[in-house]
Structure 1
Amino acid sequence: MGSLARDVLSARPIHDFERSVFKPIARSSVPPSFSSAVMRALTQDVKRALASDEASIRAGMEGVWPKAGYRYLHGLIYSGDLNFSNSLSRFPTGRSWMRRRSSANGYGSLLRDSESPSALAKMVAEVPEGEKGLAIVLYRRAVSALCSSASALLTNTLWLSSPLNPGVPIDNIVLESLRLLPPAWMLRRKASREYAEINDAINESDNVFIFPFLIHRNPEAWSSPEVFDPDRWYDIEDPDLLEDYLPFGYTNNRCWARHLILQLVKKVLQEASRIGLSAVEKQGKVKVPLNPLLSISSPKFRASLNQV
């Protein structure tokens, strides 16, 4: 099962319209230079958040997730962009608007009023006026994708592992959560000649859907696949080499921000463990809607220790 999925994912480069953040804007491809600039800025922002002791003890982890998680992460990374991001949300981003240079003036002054703007906000403010619309769309997409993906993974991980066992490595807990409830539960690839050459059952006109959610539960690859068992990862040196493990895709088609997401998730889990964050209700049957990001529906978490 995993072998065929990997063959499909590696058969051709991913098309730009199959991406999430860097898919075409107003029917125009995102220039690679812009994609690189966004990734550099995101990396700087996440590193700053990870290094901030003040941000790491910010209140707000309690509540109903994944919404509470999104708010927490947004505050952790982009609290300094409040005026800036609120202003961006008031502007449309259609093709005609993006061509009008005057529509995106004034962001430099908003940044000067901000106490600690993010690297991504600075990038938007500093690009030439003719490219401002493109930068604004990428700001919105990148911030939303980063916080939403990390919150979905955290929601699943906190619920599956509640209460967190300090004796189990966080890496193992996250790997097992990604196996059992991968937020990127389905990958879609548009019909291509290369896929028909892989397997006779695939026609050149067939779109291909890959389901890590099912691959990760293959009983031929995993012992007790329906059981949450972080201990299974003790003897696995490199999860990326496992044939039936595709939580972020495969090879150069993997998620663009997987390393940033994993760093954020581990940071928040450490803080969650410190304050004793756990599920209010005992684990049982829960709803897991098949949304674009797979996440347990509305679990509530509460801290058992005072935050200091």
Structure 2
Amino acid sequence: MEQLAPAAVHGHGVVFAPRIQDLLAREDKVFRIDATTVGVSDFRLLSDIVAARPVLASERSVYKPAAGADVDHDSATRTIRALGQDVMAGVRTPPPPARGLSGAWPESATSYLRTWLFASDPLPVSLLSKRGVTRSDGLSRLADRAVTLWPGSGAGSGSTALAGLIHDATGDRDRRQAVALYRRATATLCDGVAALAANALWLMGPARAREESGAGLTTVLWETLRLLPPAWMLFRKGGPGYAGLHPGIRPEDDLALFPLLMHRDPDHWTDPLEFRPERWAGVADPEKTPAFMPFGFDGARCWAKHLVVPLAERLLDVALEHRLALRGSPRETHVPLRSLLSVRFEADTGV
């Protein structure tokens, strides 16, 4: 079977964490990871697994229980709509100074996006989306407490729709849940878009980055979602409904589903290890492409998928317009073992 990990793309090497590299080296499409977990990269079996039952709340990072209660459908819908409003409003405003994109990626891009989209929220709500706060459990708890107690802190002139949901919440539990959803929604969106943009910049390389702009970036992003998808693994808790789908799956086995491997399957992709954005030219709906799962399957798709590519494209526009360049022109970069798959590099803007 063809090796699944590329040695280099446009002169840029990618060094995966050892456990990811081990996955890429596997030839079987259904394999045991440990005593209680089975890995799957076969497209048809993946489809059958996802269709076997609805995704559980505990399997979705944003809508798992918060503030001691499940997140109901109405709360989830309001959060999605509010986030969509905030993203559309944000990308219509001038971006922050491009110097904010200099530094370590994707962290610099994450902070830049949070400033761009949510800096209008008043204190202490704006603290909920600041990277320095979200990375500390102690500071996060303090920020949560401050928001739930601060009178009128959730809304005001120019504040985001997500902040308005905090302000409009009735009762302590509903407000605590609105606070949790604010943090989760902003973090999930900004972290995911930053990872996607970082991967795209690395795959393009300096020469192609200078050439691409406008509509060309859309195909670049779809090809990046194929070759280096930030959502590289999905988890499903085991159950009897899965055992009959494959002889290697037992009722007690949890399942790890790997788009990263499926997207490199030579049975479905021509030149699967080549970065070829042109393969998406003229494709009206990339998500209908067989063996392509950038945002999940029907019924379990990413709640913000309609925002990710347009926002990443806008972020790349800003980065390329201000001549963002990799610091030191590195020949290879590392991809650590994280829930979001992303390359790591240092960059500087030309301003």
TM-score normalized by the length of structure 2? 0.77
- How far residue 104 of structure 1 moved from its aligned partner, in angstroms, is 2.1
Contact 2:121 2:158 in 1 (8 A): yes
- 2:203 corresponds to: 160
- 1:221 counterpart = 2:262: no
Within 5 A, what are the aligned runs for 1:115-130? 116-130=158-172
Taking the aligned partners of 2:147 and 2:122, their CA distance within structure 1 comes to 20
| Counterpart amino acid of residue 189 in structure 1 | R
- Structure 2: give runs of 5+ residues left out of the alignment: 1-41, 134-138
Taking the aligned partners of 1:214 and 1:281, their CA distance within structure 2 comes to 31
- 1:92 corresponds to: 141
Contact 2:124 2:153 in 1 (8 A): no
- 1:72 counterpart = 2:112: yes
Within 5 A, what are the aligned runs for 1:210-289? 210-234=257-281, 236-282=283-329, 284-289=331-336
Contact 1:158 1:278 in 2 (8 A): no
Taking the aligned partners of 1:122 and 1:5, their CA distance within structure 2 comes to 39
| Counterpart amino acid of residue 125 in structure 1 | H
Residue 92 of structure 1 aligns to a residue whose secondary structure is helix
Contact 1:158 1:279 in 2 (8 A): no
- How far residue 198 of structure 1 moved from its aligned partner, in angstroms, is 2.1
Deviations 1:20-63 (A, max 9, x none): 111112552111111111111101100101111x2266541222
One of 171, 190, 196 as aligned partner of 2:218: 171
- 1:104 counterpart = 2:148: yes
Residue 224 of structure 1 aligns to a residue whose secondary structure is coil
Greater mean alpha carbon deviation, residues 59-68 or residues 11-20:
59-68
Taking the aligned partners of 1:25 and 1:142, their CA distance within structure 2 comes to 13
- How far residue 246 of structure 1 moved from its aligned partner, in angstroms, is 0.8
One of 45, 50, 55 as aligned partner of 2:86: 45
Aligned residues: 295
Greater mean alpha carbon deviation, residues 169-178 or residues 55-64:
55-64
- Structure 1: give runs of 5+ residues left out of the alignment: none
- CA distance change for structure 1 residues 201 and 293 in 2, over 3 Å: closer, same or farther? same
Report % sequence identity.
Answer: 33
Contact 1:56 1:271 in 2 (8 A): no
Residue 250 of structure 1 aligns to a residue whose secondary structure is coil
| Counterpart amino acid of residue 203 in structure 2 | L
Taking the aligned partners of 1:188 and 1:57, their CA distance within structure 2 comes to 38
Contact 1:185 1:294 in 2 (8 A): yes
- 2:39 corresponds to: none
Q: CA-atom RMSD, angstroms?
A: 2.4
- CA distance change for structure 1 residues 72 and 111 in 2, over 3 Å: closer, same or farther? same
Taking the aligned partners of 2:309 and 2:127, their CA distance within structure 1 comes to 30
Contact 1:81 1:118 in 2 (8 A): yes
Contact 1:217 1:225 in 2 (8 A): yes
Residue 287 of structure 1 aligns to a residue whose secondary structure is strand
Taking the aligned partners of 1:141 and 1:77, their CA distance within structure 2 comes to 15
Residue 261 of structure 2 aligns to a residue whose secondary structure is helix
- CA distance change for structure 1 residues 41 and 161 in 2, over 3 Å: closer, same or farther? same
Taking the aligned partners of 1:103 and 1:169, their CA distance within structure 2 comes to 42
- 1:3 corresponds to: 44
One of 82, 92, 102 as aligned partner of 1:62: 102
Greater mean alpha carbon deviation, residues 188-197 or residues 152-161:
188-197
- 1:206 corresponds to: 253
Residue 124 of structure 2 aligns to a residue whose secondary structure is helix
Contact 1:3 1:243 in 2 (8 A): no
Taking the aligned partners of 1:253 and 1:226, their CA distance within structure 2 comes to 27
Taking the aligned partners of 2:121 and 2:181, their CA distance within structure 1 comes to 15
Residue 195 of structure 1 aligns to a residue whose secondary structure is helix
Residue 100 of structure 2 aligns to a residue whose secondary structure is coil
- How far residue 146 of structure 1 moved from its aligned partner, in angstroms, is 1.0
| Counterpart amino acid of residue 179 in structure 1 | R
Residue 200 of structure 1 aligns to a residue whose secondary structure is coil
Deviations 1:267-307 (A, max 9, x none): 1112222222232343533210120001112x122233x4x
Residue 314 of structure 2 aligns to a residue whose secondary structure is helix
Contact 1:104 1:129 in 2 (8 A): no
| Counterpart amino acid of residue 303 in structure 1 | T
Taking the aligned partners of 2:183 and 2:63, their CA distance within structure 1 comes to 11
Question: Higher strand proportion, which one?
Answer: 2
- CA distance change for structure 1 residues 247 and 87 in 2, over 3 Å: closer, same or farther? closer
Contact 1:84 1:111 in 2 (8 A): no
Taking the aligned partners of 1:10 and 1:171, their CA distance within structure 2 comes to 29
